[in-house]
Structure 1
């Protein structure tokens, strides 16, 4: 593999390539930042291209803001059909990596199928779980939308050579939706353990933020309805009603942020914070509240856990696979805020349980090495590319 002609060429299709945009893009950048250029050549296609200096060529795809999520733009590859095809014909990819079954993803899939090029994907987003939030105003449409999403999954993922899925739980779910198990490979998510570890606890930092020494409850994620933030509001209301003497901290932004600030007037809102500060925040707070049941994995749950911020999360979605109930955190009914309050009070009142759970959470640190996970990905890409290389 010492000459440019022997490099595996990968066409990478991603609607979003803005660093740290969400958990899915954070995962993508863990691979991009470790791309072994002596073995691979990548060409990127995106509707929301990087805003920072990016070392690889990106083909900009026309995009349009969607009405129910104004922070996101949907890529419209048909508007640049000739341009994209010209770039692909010139590049001659050996493998096509598609991040999601969007319009851009299906455009890439059609090109791959027509030209007998293998497709690789990572199952980032559990879209089917979003339907109950997107269609809550017309509940009779929810099941129809879920059925349609299942058909999309089947049509897209069953044409992939390999799909990386973060947990066995999510593999079983995809099989339940009609995706062939043989195409699915369990592939954990990693962490930057220098940023996310319990030694980053900073008492001066958290006291400067809160102006007191009270225990801290933390929600850190996008503030959007598909994260089940209505339940977060209810948990906050019960904390206030019962006079539980804590700080309630919210880190992140999103479509529901304005309502969240109105519904949680005594909470501390931090807006978007970078990874460096986020690691310090996790390690300096006590209990991580996460009501979402729409996660494929739940990066924030693992980040909080290894930092010593004990997760009290909803029993649902892929993130529930990260918490062993009663061992390294608690799983709660996603429709019952009182269940969360019960576990919060138990942790606040029992230092021995907090100590035991923090110790249990630390054991995951050695397993979350991104270098090892990236090595698996690039090795698979190389094998697939070589087996199809013409």
Structure 2
């Protein structure tokens, strides 16, 4: 019989803010709560949003995070109801997915209740700090504070080898466990009908070449290069429909840049999409998923594309490209520049048979089911709890 646990997932963002880490936290909580006990999510409140998850979500007071919209800065110390509620929960283990406010809450619970804490390193924090603070010295100081946080937890996880290497570069010297991400994309029986609905909604013809980007609209994800690459293939006479899905602080500037280049008839911004069937159908209809980010670790969107047989084009040598084998289960561009990326798009679409084969191989080799990942997470939690209890002589 499985040992039931009471677990907490702590992150500084959650639905309706959709990014890779939100996706991770949501799937951790859903599957752990469904199969292995009770799992809570603790996260900043979002104005006007009402949680409808199948697991409990605990929100605390927050304010807008300037220059990082739509993210919020949590102020849990000001939220008496949250503090009163969470201290009554008899957690067995807490898991921090962010080293800031939510991570501090998880650490306080760990210390006070003498329970283990796991922390996952998800992001290139130095890049984030540099983008906001502009000054390298300040970014390095903040990065050192992040490493201090990871030095104070029981076990550190990363989602890929590349993420572990970055963590080491930041100065972390402790042990790291690699626990990969999964995907909740399952191809439904009515996928063809869903794709047809999406084609009608977006006025897509059967013969149209459809290109897709899904992710936060932030400059770190190389989205300016992506638009410039699309401009390059436009000038070469390539006909296509390009869809951007997501939100972020750079969205308005990116839209303005598209208009400046005269590409608005080819490129559409669909905003944030919470309807998973609609998102699945977009991935399924896309001929090629474009993801030139040099910022991301093990991006879930590449798995989501793979789940429906759509291959991705990434920049060679990046963490996002870690599982892609060029021309086998996806495609790589050797140079991080717009012209090279555009040329690679044209090469790929000119060989539709190889494009189709790469999508089939992506589905076999890149896609991982979240339920299987969480089975492993649960086993790791049990081992961590046992080790912690033995160390602290807790029966």
Shorter-chain TM band:
0.7 to 0.9
Under a length normalisation based on structure 2, what TM-score does the superposition of the two structures give? 0.84
Counterpart selection for 2:167 from 174, 198, 202? 174
> Which residue pairs with 2:261 in the alignment?
none
For residues 1-390 of structure 1, the aligned pairs below 5 Å read 7-18=4-15, 21-36=18-33, 40-48=37-45, 51-80=50-79, 86-87=84-85, 89-113=87-111, 116-135=114-133, 138=134, 141=135, 143-182=136-175, 184-195=176-187, 204-205=196-197, 207-208=199-200, 209-212=202-205, 213-264=207-258, 265-266=264-265, 267-273=267-273, 274-315=275-316, 317-332=318-333, 335-364=336-365, 368-389=368-389, 390=394
Q: CA deviation at 1:28?
A: 1.3
Q: CA deviation at 1:350?
A: 1.8
Is residue 63–residue 74 contact of structure 2 (8 Å, CA) maintained in 1?
A: yes
**Residues 22 and 195 (structure 1), Cα distance of their counterparts in 2 relative to 1, 3 Å cut:** farther
Q: Supply the distance in 2 between the matched residues of 1:314 and 1:201 (Cα, whole angstroms).
A: 33
Q: CA deviation at 1:74?
A: 1.0
**Residues 93 and 148 (structure 1), Cα distance of their counterparts in 2 relative to 1, 3 Å cut:** same
Is residue 200–residue 279 contact of structure 1 (8 Å, CA) maintained in 2?
A: no
Is residue 97–residue 120 contact of structure 2 (8 Å, CA) maintained in 1?
A: yes
Deviates more, 1:379-388 or 1:24-33: 379-388
**What RMSD in Å do the two structures reach over aligned CA positions?**
3.1
Give deviations 1:74-130, integer Å, cap 9, x for gaps.
Answer: 1123334x6666545533433222120113313432453465432112333332233
Q: Supply the distance in 1 between the matched residues of 2:209 and 2:38 (Cα, whole angstroms).
A: 49
Unmatched segments (≥5 aa) in structure 2: 259-263
Deviates more, 1:37-46 or 1:147-156: 37-46
Q: Supply the distance in 1 between the matched residues of 2:145 and 2:346 (Cα, whole angstroms).
A: 43
Q: CA deviation at 1:288?
A: 1.4
Give deviations 1:10-60, integer Å, cap 9, x for gaps.
Answer: 343222332672221111111221224785344443213672334555443
Unmatched segments (≥5 aa) in structure 1: none
Q: Supply the distance in 1 between the matched residues of 2:306 and 2:35 (Cα, whole angstroms).
A: 36
Q: Supply the distance in 2 between the matched residues of 1:10 and 1:253 (Cα, whole angstroms).
A: 30
Q: Supply the distance in 1 between the matched residues of 2:87 and 2:359 (Cα, whole angstroms).
A: 53
Number of corresponding residues: 379
Is residue 17–residue 70 contact of structure 2 (8 Å, CA) maintained in 1?
A: no
Is residue 202–residue 283 contact of structure 1 (8 Å, CA) maintained in 2?
A: no
Q: Supply the distance in 1 between the matched residues of 2:45 and 2:26 (Cα, whole angstroms).
A: 14
Q: Supply the distance in 1 between the matched residues of 2:64 and 2:380 (Cα, whole angstroms).
A: 35
Q: CA deviation at 1:229?
A: 1.7
Is residue 190–residue 368 contact of structure 1 (8 Å, CA) maintained in 2?
A: yes
Structure 1 segments (4+ residues) deviating >6 Å: 196-199
Q: CA deviation at 1:242?
A: 2.1
